[in-house]
Structure 1
Amino acid sequence: MPATAAPVPTAPAELFRHGLRLLLEKNIPAWVDLFDEDCVFEFPFAPQDWPDRLEGKQAVADYMRHYPDHIDLHNFPRVEIHQTTAPETIVVEMRGVGRLVQTGRPFDMTYIAVVTVDAGHITSYRDYWNPLAVQEPGLDFTENR
């Protein structure tokens, strides 16, 4: 009997945690599949010349395509998920650690994300990451911009 893949969770917190596992596995296509076709992904603190808004699943896929070539994520040692008064929206405080592929230097980033899920897909993702980190050598998403 062939093995079947586990179903993808649909509740916001479980879907988000599943997405983190996919990022650690460097399975970017599966991570992108968690997003709605008409999703909006925003970076409110994006540095100048970096995108501050991606519209649609394809834009997210294009942006994330080379992520594993730049950042080798090893772990999310801190993930706190807070439920909001809107059941479909969560606020996430997390820390991701790994290394920068180009230089081998450590990668250690804290994030706050506001994520909205509808019908088992992410419809809105606001990523409040530290823009000072892109000033580090080896963290350059030039081909994604």
Structure 2
Amino acid sequence: MPAHTSPADLYRHSLRLLLDKDIPAWVDLWAENGVMEFPFAPQGWPGRLEGKEAVAAYMRHYPDHIDLHDIRDVRIHQTTEPDVIVVEMRGVGRVVETGGPFDMTYIAVVTFQDGLISSYRDYWNPLAVQEPGVGFVASGTR
């Protein structure tokens, strides 16, 4: 996508790539020195991934663990900083190993620089990994 594309449009494109299970194309949306943070990550889980390669390694097997069917309730909020958005959304699908449902609510603060993701703070609910069938998914992606 062109570098002048808005952060909201870039983010919507990233969601389409996740639904298409095109992780390499999703990773291509990241700046080389991009940082992904999980402020609520439970002990033993990564709290911070530094660099595009670390993000790629973390996400590489995501479709093997979570079969994401839909991303619902997407609300993208503009901030006073033009390259920063706050996103609310809900990922719905199934846990591949168990076939059980996957339903996770997220809030993310995403910063873009030159049309690429430079910072992604993912405020997902760590209590959800304690639900039956979901714990493997999350631990399988760490």
TM-score computed with the length of structure 1 as normaliser: 0.90
Quote the sequence identity (%): 70
How far apart, in 1, do the equivalents of 2:101 and 2:141 lie?
A: 22
Question: Aligned residue for 1:40?
Answer: 35
Question: Aligned residue for 2:24?
Answer: 29
**TM-superposed deviation, 1:133:** 1.9
SS, match of residue 12 in structure 2? helix
Give 1 or 2 for the bigger CA radius of gyration.
1
How far apart, in 2, do the equivalents of 1:62 and 1:104 lie?
A: 24
Contact 1:100 1:107 (C-alpha < 8 Å) held by counterparts: yes
- Structure 1, unaligned runs of 5 or more: 1-6
Question: Aligned residue for 1:128?
Answer: 123
Contact 1:100 1:139 (C-alpha < 8 Å) held by counterparts: no
How far apart, in 2, do the equivalents of 1:106 and 1:23 lie?
A: 17
**TM-superposed deviation, 1:79:** 0.2
State how many pairs are aligned: 139
Which of 84, 89, 93 lines up with 1:89 in the alignment?
84
- Structure 2, unaligned runs of 5 or more: none
1:71 equivalent in alignment to 2:66: yes
One-letter identity of the residue aligned with 2:60: R
**TM-superposed deviation, 1:138:** 4.8
| CA separation of 1:104 and 1:117: change in aligned 2, threshold 3 A | same
One-letter identity of the residue aligned with 1:28: I
One-letter identity of the residue aligned with 2:126: P
**Divergent runs of 4+, >4 A:** 141-144
The CA RMSD measured in Å over matched residues stands at 1.4
Q: 93-102 or 9-18, which moves further after superposition?
A: 9-18
SS, match of residue 123 in structure 2? strand
| CA separation of 1:144 and 1:109: change in aligned 2, threshold 3 A | closer
SS, match of residue 48 in structure 1? coil
TM-score computed with the length of structure 2 as normaliser: 0.92
SS, match of residue 82 in structure 2? coil
How far apart, in 1, do the equivalents of 2:98 and 2:140 lie?
A: 18
